[in-house]
Structure 1
Amino acid sequence: MTARLQPIARSGVPFAGHSLAGSADLWFDEVLLRDRNVPATRKSLAECTAQEQTRLSQRRAPICGLPMDRPRIMGVLNVTPDSFSDGGDHASLDAAVTRARQMAEEADILDIGGESTRPGAEEVSVAEEIRRTSKVIAAIRNAGITTPISIDTRKARVAEAALDAGANMVNDVAAFTFDPELADLVAERDVPVCLMHAQGRPDTMQHNPRYDDVLFDVMDFLEDRIAFATGRGIARERIVTDPGIGFGKTLEHNVTLLRNLSLLHDLGLPILLGVSRKRFIGTIGQAAEAKERLAGSLAVVLHGVQNGAQILRVHDTYETRQAIRLQQAMMKRES
């Protein structure tokens, strides 16, 4: 696909067009028609084909049994010693379970990670990653916490151990480019998977990232990985997309993707947005320490909600839930 459609999200007034990706609060009656190296042009909904209207407006399939008609919070629980924001905070089993219980009060999904993917991070062995994650997932389930769990990994064996321990979903920052066998596992287990765009691997991804056109390069990559996934037997309705903010991208790349986040709806699948505490927030918001970036993180999360992102991956689940409740009250559809 060359030309792409970017719905212009609206809220707060009676619907005058189609629901945006099945949202209870967002709608659109215009799109931006985008092509590489060509200025965007406006196009009315009536000028779109029936297929285009359906792709942009139909409600996305549930993920982990959760309807995608409203924003869902994915709580980050890293059981690593070196993650950029919370490394070492939940290294003990008790600390991890305690934090999982706290997050489960507000989060819809818990995302468990045992390998840091921060810029410059080195690869962790499969055995070590399994050791860090599978016992935590089992302990969370043994504690009676029933919130869906996503395993944040690039590796098939790690995901297999996590699913055996009680995880429900796979979150692959490499979109099956690191370990293609992970696609076979996801297909076999018939679980949801998030496919994220990244340029390069964590240890080198921030070494002067370049794009011909970051919007189209990311969209083309995701479209290619969706085709790969479905070709390996993964049901399309099991797939979530993620533009990979901060993964092989400059500040300008990140801001461009966020300004045009609604373009991802043209893929016809749920959007996961992970921006919590990231470096570009610190740069723009003048907050050097990751844990001082809550206000900036909330600002970007609410921008994601306004543009129809279905899953928001965050560290601060309580504060995010409160902010989204207020945002939804402002966006609520008038009768």
Structure 2
Amino acid sequence: MSDLVPMDKLQIEACKAFGKEAANNVFAFLGDITGPPAKELGGLLADQVRFLRFKNQFKLIEKTRAFLKGKKPQEVPLRILAPLLEHASWAEEDILQDKWASLLASAAMPGADVSNHATYVELLRQLSPIHVAFLDFMYKSSNYSSRRFGRLPEYIADQDVMRELLIGEDQYAICCELLISLNLISQDIILNTDNLEIEKENGLFSATPKLKIKKRLWRELVSRDIGSISLTFLGISFVRKCRHPLAPENRKAILLLIRENLNEIIDQHPNRSAALTNMARELTPEMLVDDIYGAVETGYRKITGQYIAYRDEEHPLTQEQKKELIEFIADDLRYMYG
């Protein structure tokens, strides 16, 4: 028999534990993202175990509310919300709580496409803190074109990952096997030339497998190496949805700084403006300045047909082109950071 706690009793306990204002804010937010069936979630939030799990869920919703500050959340389908709250209730580590809150915020973002969020929930529930730190490092180590346009694979060396996460070869290998099985990362593929007959004729090379048994060709000619790994397109998308969304006021502040220093940013490209770099990091620790410069470069090329490095300095951007570039950067940041 279930020990589900009724919503009214749950609100009373929440008021005692967290204060009336905080409790009311959380339950009001829950009503926004669940719609009419919110009362049924009274039992889900408390579940059939202890109040500790509800405290974790309470923290989750408080963080989600903070991420969505200034925005009216959209309703999140119960098929996503129910398992998300269930699995997030077991997360005690800050890094995992942040990921669950970010994932919920990305689903509740106004106009968000949630068609893949059920998959993201299932993926996140299988990860431990070391796994999400592993993925975060790979994401930050990838370049803008990989993160933004999925130009993959972009391989990262095993030594870089182990050095950053302070893990040994065994832990690294275990992480790789799990993340590969979830299709979040892929490993390098190496062609074994020892089993090929290589010939050169008229300046052209040709290769013929030495093996005659076709069933063994792939196994003998190709090997996989976790010494070099890359995020998959699914991995890129998953990590992005589990990162802090950019608060509206922070986005406005960054765009204002870019607008005021656009000429300097273009002139210094690919060198980095210290003012822009420092302010972006102060506004949000998860902001990757490379994403800003990538957006500037991509937008500039789209508008002028030129690379910034080879631009015609005698014909700088017109005011209309500058406005168009700022709008492009704003759309790009919205795509990358919600």
Does the alignment reach a TM-score above 0.5?
no
**Structure-1-length-normalised TM-score:** 0.24
Taking CA–CA contacts closer than 8 Å with sequence separation of 6 or more, which of the two structures ends up with the larger relative contact order?
A: 1
More strand by share: 1
| Rg larger for | 2
